[in-house]
Structure 1
Amino acid sequence: MFSYLRQTIRFTVAAWLDTRFDNPKEVFHQYSDLYDRMIEKGFKRNNFTYIAALALLQQKNDEGDHDAAIQRSLTIYGRMKGEHPFITSKDDYPLAVILSQQEGEVDDLIERMETFYRQLSKNRFWNGNNLQFLSQMLSLDTEHDSSLLIERTFGVFDELKRASMKPKTMHYPDVGILALVEGSRKSVDEVRVIRDKLNKQKKYRWHKDLNYKLAVQLVVSEALSEHAVAEAGLFTSMEVIMQAQQTAIMAGSIGAVAAADGGGA
């Protein structure tokens, strides 16, 4: 009765299983077992572990390989916490799992992530969990040089400011998502149009930060279906990132939305 799957995350899990597997009901039992194994190995029970389990489920591994992947994920998470002990939390689980699926030594993966963090923190971006999340996201793209990805990130940041959508720290992951799909002026303008429409809706007008994130995700979701990022192996990773963001959004806003609806009754 206390399962996190009794909360709103069940919709995310159900949609994910239904759209990716021919036998979602059967796969759900595999998914549930995988989650339990992650808990046994050291992950904590929460919504973000369920999202991380979705990322692991995509891997076509046998039981032994999954155990190795879980341990590698925990190792990477531990290294993240070692670098940033005060800002690393359970919402970093999904990115730790995705990073664990990359080839290479853990030290090299962490160093690449820290390179992004250091460079971005020197100019325009504030230190903190959101910058760490952005750095983790950028490090997933191993097809491009870090300097190019940083340049793209600054470019997206400037385009958002031009469109009167200057990102707050909570929007850093949105900047990263757009940078990974090479967000252009057209993409940013599409985000602004959708955000403005949401801001005018009665049930959304008091949640402008949420509308900002939703607008970015709608634009990026459409771009992912045709973008070359899918060929680079980032398609699933990007979807996991957006699911993790949606989980955070739900956790932070569902109570406020319910309160607003009740107040208008």
Structure 2
Amino acid sequence: MDTNGIVNEVDRTYKKVKSLAGWTVDKNVVLTITSYYVTSEREFFAENLNHAMDSLKENSSWLSPLRGNLLPMIAAFLDKPGVDINEETARLFHKQRVLRNEGFRNTIHSYLAALLMTDDSTLYEQEAKNAKSLYNEMKKTHFFLTSDDDYAYAVLLAKKNENPVEHARSMRLYYDALRVKGLRSGDELQWMSQLMTYVDINFEEQLVSRAISILDCFKKEAKVQPLHYPMVAFLTVFGVSNTEITEIIELTHALEDSKLFSWNKEMALSIAMGYIMRELTDSHEEIGVSLIASIELIVQAQQAVIAATMASMAASSANNPANH
């Protein structure tokens, strides 16, 4: 792992993204876009991202949830090598309409969920139905916490085609078990508990212990926040080794030393996790081709939800008179 090379690439890509996105876009969103390009080892071209943003704007109304702070992030997710951006945009809107027809609300999270759907249009309706069935069961087991920010996870996990009742039940078991271990209640813990079922929906106590062990390692060396909970779940179910945890910590420290992260140390850990997880899936043949193919979508969903949450919190804080 070329730590210095990664740090330099993050800094170089951030400057390019910031220059295009402008100063009105939340820094955490810009960092998320930067992380997406760097962790997927994809070169950033301003012209491509600009084209994707224009395409999204041309196809959405002024009141669309796509407009605003998160537009460049969604555009980045459409910016893939060798694709026709206009076709990708049309496909995204088609998928989102199918999700809405199944009862998902018209929010930014239904677009994020649409990104995780297959590109085979003959499967759209069934995928949406399966996702809604799982989402409904998730809502039953955790009524107050389950909302539109769980849409992406419902789509992702429903692809396992498991019994939605049993699947949601395992999620709740993980939530309660992790909560007992001292993790903070809230959306992030809910997302973590959902992702603990990604490889196998059956509740496994040893996975809980392993997740806690990984978190404890990070807490000793880095600024850990609840926003890191879901990524810890990924690392847990993918069987991250202690050596790889050490690499994450080393990369985190190197990023933290960069001026870019002087006020965003929690994002340094997020980017380091994403980068090592990509290496983990690429180098472990036993994980299986299907999981390796899914890793980019997984990282997209997680980073997108985190950035959306951060942007929402920042906007809420700015609009609260008590904070002025």
* 1:95 maps to amino acid: Y
SS in 2 for 1:203: helix
TM-score (norm 1): 0.81
**Aligned twin of 2:213:** 155
C-alpha separation in 1, matches of 2:301 and 2:88 = 21
Instruction: Tell me the C-alpha RMSD between the 2 structures.
Output: 2.9
- Counterpart of 1:213 (choices 263, 266, 270) is 270
5+ residue gaps, structure 2, are: 1-61, 315-324
Question: Alpha carbons of 1:89 and 1:240: their partners in 2 closer, same or farther (altered >3 Å)?
Answer: farther
- Counterpart of 1:195 (choices 252, 256, 263) is 252
**Aligned twin of 1:204:** 261
Which segment drifts farther, 134-143 or 3-12?
3-12
State how 1:68-217 maps to structure 2 within 5 Å: 68-142=126-200, 146-161=204-219, 163-165=220-222, 167-217=224-274
**Aligned twin of 1:260:** none
**Aligned twin of 1:243:** 300
C-alpha separation in 2, matches of 1:116 and 1:151 = 11
Deviation at 1:237, TM superposition (A): 4.4
5+ residue gaps, structure 1, are: 257-265
C-alpha separation in 1, matches of 2:213 and 2:283 = 22
Deviation at 1:92, TM superposition (A): 0.8
Deviation at 1:182, TM superposition (A): 1.7
Deviation at 1:21, TM superposition (A): 6.7
Task: Please list the CA deviations of residues 7-51 of structure 1 after superposition, one character each: whole Å capped at 9, or x if unmatched.
Answer: 464545445444377545324322221112222332122222112
Question: Alpha carbons of 1:229 and 1:136: their partners in 2 closer, same or farther (altered >3 Å)?
Answer: farther
Does structure 1 retain, via aligned residues, the 8 Å contact 2:222–2:252?
Answer: no
Does structure 1 retain, via aligned residues, the 8 Å contact 2:79–2:85?
Answer: yes
* 1:175 maps to amino acid: V
Deviation at 1:196, TM superposition (A): 2.1
C-alpha separation in 2, matches of 1:173 and 1:66 = 26
**Aligned twin of 2:114:** 53
C-alpha separation in 2, matches of 1:187 and 1:165 = 15
* 1:56 maps to amino acid: M
**Aligned twin of 2:100:** 39
TM-score (norm 2): 0.67
Count of equivalent residues: 252
Does structure 1 retain, via aligned residues, the 8 Å contact 2:214–2:232?
Answer: yes
